[in-house]
Amino acid sequence: MGHVLKPPPPDQSRRLQQFFAEAGYTEEGFVAALRTVEPPLPHLRSLPRLLDLTREPTVFNTLARWFLAGLPVDAGRARESTPDWFRRTCLESGLLFSDGEALVPTSLLVPSGKFLVAADLYQRLLSATDFDHVLTINPAARLLLDFTIRRPSWSTLDLCAGCGIQALAAAAHSQVVVATDLNPRATAFAAFNARLNGCENLDFLTGDGFAPVEGRAFDLIVCNPPFILAPTKRYLYRDNDMDLDGFCRALVRQAPRHLNEGGYFQMIFEWAQVQGQAWQERVAEWFEGTGCDVWLLKNYTQEPGWYAQIRLRETPFRSQEADAAGYDEWMTYYRGRRVEAMHGGLVAMRRRSGPNWLRIEELPESLHPPFGQSILRGFEARDFLEAHPSDEGLLACRLKVAGEVRLDQEYRWSEGHWRTVAIRLRLAEGLPRAMGLDGDVAQFLARFDGTRTVREVIRTLASEVAVDPARVQAESLAVVRHMVERGILLL
């Protein structure tokens, strides 16, 4: 299994965390000093800049060279910029070792929220034994963190936990978290990270998919699986042994058995579009008969050539010939399966008895993270509409405009006046989906203040317009239902 980190005792872990925080080794500190939180992965070609920015022997710079860049720091500079107890603790825990002249890091240590998260050095990807490489936090992991519904959970599962970041984040709102991974090195990193960050309500299990938690059910399952659509079985963190997107489909099919009633399965994943079938139709089949309400948010679409190039570029460059052979292998795989495009996105499935719904839409481009609360609200809005199927039921409700709703008005100059050309409603938090609407509808919505019933608001409107009241009511109720579903109107 190679190098294993030994968690420092709790008081030393706290001291380490405080030391990193005071040195500005935090997400905010990274952005301020380096404009990025990404380690200098080879394909980003960002190492020269990082070395230049960290040339002064300050504490932050030395920490960044060790634990962000994964580079040795000579003993003199290490002594000059860090205290003895710190180096001793890092040596004892195995985060650093001495090669005589320099102190050499064994792992990355990346800040994420209030956590410091250890994972493999990217340099390990260049070795012959990199199959079980444990990935550091990347944009997919961050998106899943932002998407996760953070309500109290009795039991949470982080499936395909890797370095354990999802499990750490879930620990704060869960009674117990179980983190599972096929790779024992990942489980070891996750266990180290839990101890380093003082999280005690986590269990770690090693095994394939749901096998380690057979017979157990959870309130929340979060999953960032190896979802890449690749012909290769090169890296555990990225590849899986099923065809195309079969692994993610299998997780979707198995997840409901491990959910308590009302529990959520939230996954980031990719899926294929094959010739002759709309992607919505293909992916919709995955969820049939699962006993879950499903909300799928598509984030991006790529054509196979572009996708293969991007994915291949994420791994170390070996030679032009290897690149050409790799690209050819990936494209042959896609052509053989008539893959037209790849889509990436997020899914939230909620186990619920009764007739279930499936909602497929695009993830808004500019998100205001975190947006897990908006996802929960979306499910609750559906529940509300289902609980009020009749007009009479809805007319008796007292709804109000959500606090985060904003109305934008766009004007165009014309003949000495500013004329309104568009009115848009949007949510200023979470999923900021904008919708165009008519000025009259905007005024109508403004009347929902939580004190008057829907019936009263509609009656007032009907008394002001010369239109059949029955028609006003029917059209208004359609607007109300739409606005509830979109999170604009709340109970």
Ligand X SMILES: C[S@@+](CC[C@H](N)C(=O)[O-])C[C@H]1O[C@@H](n2cnc3c(N)ncnc32)[C@H](O)[C@@H]1O
Q: Give burial (CB, 10 Å; 0-12/13-18/19+) of 449.
A: exposed
Longest dimension (CA), the chain: 89
Let me know if 484 is exposed, middle or buried by CB neighbors in 10 A (0-12, 13-18, 19+).
buried
CA gap 393, 202 in Å, rounded:
44
Q: Cβ-closest residue to ligand X?
A: 162
Q: How far is the CB of 81 from ligand X (least distance, A)?
A: 30
Name the residue nearer to ligand X (CB basis): 68 or 90.
Answer: 68
- The burial of 481, by beta-carbon neighbours within 10 Å (0-12 exposed, 13-18 middle, 19 or more buried), is given as middle
Min separation Cβ 206 and ligand X, Å: 9
Strand pairing partners for 422? 410
The one-character DSSP state at 396 is: T
Give the residue with the Cβ less far from ligand X, 197 or 473. Answer: 197
CB nearer to ligand X: pick between 188 and 472: 188
C-alpha distances out from residue 162 to 137, 185, 436, Å: 9, 8, 42
Read off the tokens for 93: 């825990």
Smallest gap from residue 328 Cβ to ligand X (A):
25
C-beta of 147 vs 334, nearer to ligand X: 147
Question: CA–CA distance from 417 to each of 84, 408, 412, 414 (Å)?
Answer: 71, 18, 8, 5
Q: How far is the CB of 211 from ligand X (least distance, A)?
A: 8
Contacting positions for ligand X (CB under 6 A): 135, 137, 141, 144, 160-163, 165-166, 181-183, 186, 208-209, 224-226, 236-237, 240
**Among residues 82 and 266, whose Cβ is nearest to ligand X?**
266
- Residue 204 Cβ vs ligand X, minimum distance, rounded to whole Å: 12
Of residues 348 and 441, the one with the C-beta less far from ligand X:
348
Closer of 81 and 148 to ligand X (Cβ): 148
335: three-class secondary structure by DSSP: helix
Shortest gap between Cβ of 459 and ligand X (angstroms)? 52
Q: Which two tokens stand for residue 355?
A: 């007739």
Residue 236 CB, shortest distance to ligand X, in Å, is 4
DSSP state of 70: -
